[in-house]
Chains A and B, each alone.
Chain A
Amino acid sequence: MHDGSGRILVQGLTKRFGAITAVDNLSFSVGPGSVTGFLGPNGAGKTTTLRMLLGLVTPNAGSSTINGQPFGRLGNPARVVGAVLEAQGFHPGRTARNHLRVYSAAMGVPDQRADQVLELVGLGSAARRAVGGFSLGMKQRLALATALLGDPQVLVLDEPANGLDPEGIAWLRVFLQSFARSGRTVLISSHLLAELEQTVDQVVIISAGRTVYYGPLDHLRASQSSRVLVQAADPQALVQALHTAGVTGTEWTADGRLAISGMDRKDVAEAAMAAGVALYDIRQEVIDLEQLFLQLTASQYAAAPAAWQQPGWAAPQQHGWGPVQPPPTPPPAQPPSQHGDWGGNA
């Protein structure tokens, strides 16, 4: 029925709701053994794409497969792919355990599996409580339990961190990584890169229904070279000295500092010493992926450069902190705190 590869393939998916094109010729693929982040601002088309992948929404054009088959031809799909979707419903009067037993019957797994997944997501003590009294975080855990009920090979999660407490988010992060390490596939969406940064191996970033970046997160990070930021007593003299030494990658930041590319802090400090320029402050610029993400997806409300629509794009130089186009806001002077990341300090 399906090839068991654990691969998700999305090809040219397009969905229009009336005059609005929610998803526009979207393509990407997700391989097994990794966690793939599916990123984009709210309204970028993430939920619609995932729902098309799962056969809940019919695309206007394009196709998608899981394990080499469209969702509708998976046979017993819950044994292949489990999904946690936004606004997934529960009957408020049904207990968590009974909710799972409805679907264990539908997918033909033993009823004990319901108790197992409840323990797994930490809802064992709430098993016999009606879902109507659950908090948002508990409902998210129950949705995850439902997704895991069929012991699927592929896991699709739409904004699963919504409503989860920090402890739950940390737990989810560890869980998803171990799930992927066992050779299975995880596709997880979010509108916050920081939320997924610690969890995912590769990302698909979409904006206004189109792919703007698709590849490993490390490549995205590396695409933006880090610079040294200095406050000097006589910056002009330092620039002069650097130019004489053959370093031309200098520019001014919005807050009046000098940004130097192509040298590390030690080299800059030595050059300043040699030129007799006093330095008040010297620091390595922090690559703020969130900032990059914001720039990538800013096209949602403006025309996007055509070059960005191709997978594996490599054009951040044109849009990063280059001399041609300064960023809309200066990079933060402080390294961004580890706010909202998936709970770790890694």
Chain B
Amino acid sequence: MGRLISAEFRKILTTKLWWVLLIPTVAVALLWSWGGTALLSRLINGVADSGAFQRADFNIAAAPWSLLLFARTINISVIFPMVFGALALSSEITRKTITTSYLTASSRGSVLAGKVVTYTVWGLLYGLVVSGVTSLGLLLGSGSAQLPDAQGWSLMFLAGVVASLLWTLLGLGVGAIVGNTVATLITLLVYTLLVENVIGLLLGFQLPDSRLPGVLVNGSADGMTGATAARLIVDKLAALYQSSNLGEVISASDRQRVTDLVAAAAGARGAFDWWASGLIFAGWTAVFVGVGWLVSKSRDIT
């Protein structure tokens, strides 16, 4: 197994893809988080300056609103590690290097296992870049009052790393199932960018309270980051509310409504709690990798 992991690392490091994909990852993460938080801070400060919040002594601008952009930036940036994972096996099939890879391994399962371990590491590395660059964008763009505290920051950072890791492996699994580079990329991009959004849009009209988006592939992934951000923001809002002149404690159902609203703003409508969303998405990843393993076991390499 160690030999095949070493071979996989050499496959990656002797070609350009890993750094070619890193360029848009960094660019998108930085521009999205920087520009987004700069706009958001202006907006929030404007709202907070309005008379109603001032009179109530409810400093709405003191919540970590920048986390909304942290979540959304992760969701968009992880497309690149997903593509990186998607090409892991499918490009070997398209380029026919898979023949030699299978001829030099004890079994097809060991080739795939070597890839899973290797791309776990690469998914983590991409995740560190995504979360790190997004953090930088937040520092550059956001007003300091809307930045999260250390605990919130580390939670979101972790959510970004886990999202990148899981998306990389999910791409690997889909690539193993489809077995063709172009078809794999089209499948993944059309599904994540189009199909689920259309489902979400239709459900939004018909069943606004539906939890279905939260169990879908993209929905659970976005839910992991979005629900983390929403929880951190709502916790802070609740604290601010209690110390304000508005007095009475808000009810649990009100709180849930606000959480759902903030989650939707973070790009995760209908999402479950962050940990449940994470488990659902990890389940999807396991399903795709598992089916990919089954399909590649019996695929004829002609």
Task: List chain A positions with a Cβ less than 8 A from chain B.
Answer: 47-48, 51, 54-58, 72, 74-78, 81, 83, 85, 87-91, 93-95, 98-99, 101-103, 105-108, 146, 150
B97 at interface, CB cutoff 8 A: yes
Which single residue of chain B is at the shortest CB-CB distance from A92? Answer: B95
Interface centre among B3, B100, B301 (most CB of A within 10 A): B100
Contacts of B100 in A (CB 8 A): 88-89, 103, 146
Interface membership of chain B positions 1-15, coded 1 if the CB is closer than 8 angstroms to chain A and 0 otherwise: 001101100110011
Give the complex CA separation of A74 and B106 in angstroms.
Answer: 7
Which single residue of chain A is at the shortest CB-CB distance from B12? Answer: A102
Give the complex CA separation of A89 and B298 in angstroms.
Answer: 20
Interface residues in B36-88 by Cβ distance below 8 A to A read: none
Interface centre among A54, A77, A89 (most CB of B within 10 A): A89
Tell whether A95 pairs with B14 under 8 Å between CB atoms, given A77-B104, A103-B104, A105-B3. Answer: yes
Contacts of A76 in B (CB 8 A): 106
Contacts of A55 in B (CB 8 A): 102
Contacts of A47 in B (CB 8 A): 302
Is B103 a contact of A83 with CB atoms below 8 Å?
yes
Give the complex CA separation of A254 and B107 in angstroms.
Answer: 57
Question: Of the candidates B10, B104, B107, which one forms a contact with A78 in the assembled complex, judged by CB atoms under 8 Å apart?
Answer: B104
B294 at interface, CB cutoff 8 A: no
Which single residue of chain A is at the shortest CB-CB distance from B298? Answer: A58
In the A-B complex, the 6 residue pairs with the closest CB atoms: A89-B96, A106-B7, A98-B14, A56-B301, A106-B104, A105-B7
Tell whether A107 pairs with B104 under 8 Å between CB atoms, given A91-B15, A94-B15, A101-B10. Answer: yes
Give the complex CA separation of A51 and B95 in angstroms.
Answer: 17
B105 at interface, CB cutoff 8 A: yes
Tell whether A78 pairs with B14 under 8 Å between CB atoms, given A89-B96, A102-B7. Answer: no
Is B7 a contact of A56 with CB atoms below 8 Å?
no
Which single residue of chain A is at the shortest CB-CB distance from B91? Answer: A91
B254 at interface, CB cutoff 8 A: no
Expressed in whole angstroms, the minimum distance between the Cβ of A334 and any Cβ of chain B is 41
B244 at interface, CB cutoff 8 A: no
Contacts of A85 in B (CB 8 A): 99
Give the complex CA separation of A99 and B10 in angstroms.
Answer: 9
Expressed in whole angstroms, the minimum distance between the Cβ of A19 and any Cβ of chain B is 16
5 A-B pairs with C-beta separation under 8 A: A57-B301, A76-B106, A88-B100, A101-B10, A105-B7
Is A72 a contact of B7 with CB atoms below 8 Å?
no
Is A89 a contact of B97 with CB atoms below 8 Å?
yes
Contacts of B4 in A (CB 8 A): 106
Give the complex CA separation of A57 and B103 in angstroms.
Answer: 12
Tell whether A107 pairs with B3 under 8 Å between CB atoms, given A57-B301, A83-B103, A88-B96. Answer: yes
Interface centre among A55, A93, A103 (most CB of B within 10 A): A103
Tell whether A91 pairs with B95 under 8 Å between CB atoms, given A76-B106, A103-B7. Answer: yes
Is B6 a contact of A105 with CB atoms below 8 Å?
yes
Give the complex CA separation of A83 and B301 in angstroms.
Answer: 14
Task: Report how many residues on chain B are interfacial, defined by Cβ distance under 8 Å.
Answer: 27
Is B105 a contact of A106 with CB atoms below 8 Å?
yes
Give the complex CA separation of A103 and B101 in angstroms.
Answer: 7
Interface centre among B14, B102, B104, B298 (most CB of A within 10 A): B104
Tell whether A150 pairs with B298 under 8 Å between CB atoms, given A102-B7, A105-B7, A106-B3. Answer: no
Contacts of A83 in B (CB 8 A): 103
B98 at interface, CB cutoff 8 A: yes
B149 at interface, CB cutoff 8 A: no
Expressed in whole angstroms, the minimum distance between the Cβ of B300 and any Cβ of chain A is 4
Given A77-B105, A90-B97, 15 extra CB contacts under 8 A: A47-B302, A51-B301, A58-B300, A77-B104, A88-B96, A90-B95, A91-B15, A91-B95, A93-B16, A101-B14, A102-B14, A106-B7, A107-B3, A146-B100, A150-B104
Give the complex CA separation of A88 and B95 in angstroms.
Answer: 9
Expressed in whole angstroms, the minimum distance between the Cβ of A129 and any Cβ of chain B is 13
Give the complex CA separation of A91 and B97 in angstroms.
Answer: 7
Is B3 a contact of A102 with CB atoms below 8 Å?
no
Question: Of the candidates B15, B92, B107, B300, which one forms a contact with A56 in the assembled complex, judged by CB atoms under 8 Å apart?
Answer: B300
Expressed in whole angstroms, the minimum distance between the Cβ of A110 and any Cβ of chain B is 12
Is A108 a contact of B15 with CB atoms below 8 Å?
no
Contacts of B92 in A (CB 8 A): 89
Give the complex CA separation of A34 and B102 in angstroms.
Answer: 26
Give the complex CA separation of A170 and B11 in angstroms.
Answer: 33
Which single residue of chain A is at the shortest CB-CB distance from B92? Answer: A89
Give the complex CA separation of A106 and B105 in angstroms.
Answer: 7
Question: Of the candidates A58, A75, A95, A146, which one forms a contact with B106 in the assembled complex, judged by CB atoms under 8 Å apart?
Answer: A75
Which single residue of chain B is at the shortest CB-CB distance from A74? Answer: B106
Which single residue of chain A is at the shortest CB-CB distance from B109? Answer: A72
Is A102 a contact of B10 with CB atoms below 8 Å?
yes
Which single residue of chain A is at the shortest CB-CB distance from B6? Answer: A105
Is A77 a contact of B106 with CB atoms below 8 Å?
yes
Give the complex CA separation of A39 and B101 in angstroms.
Answer: 27
Contacts of B96 in A (CB 8 A): 87-89
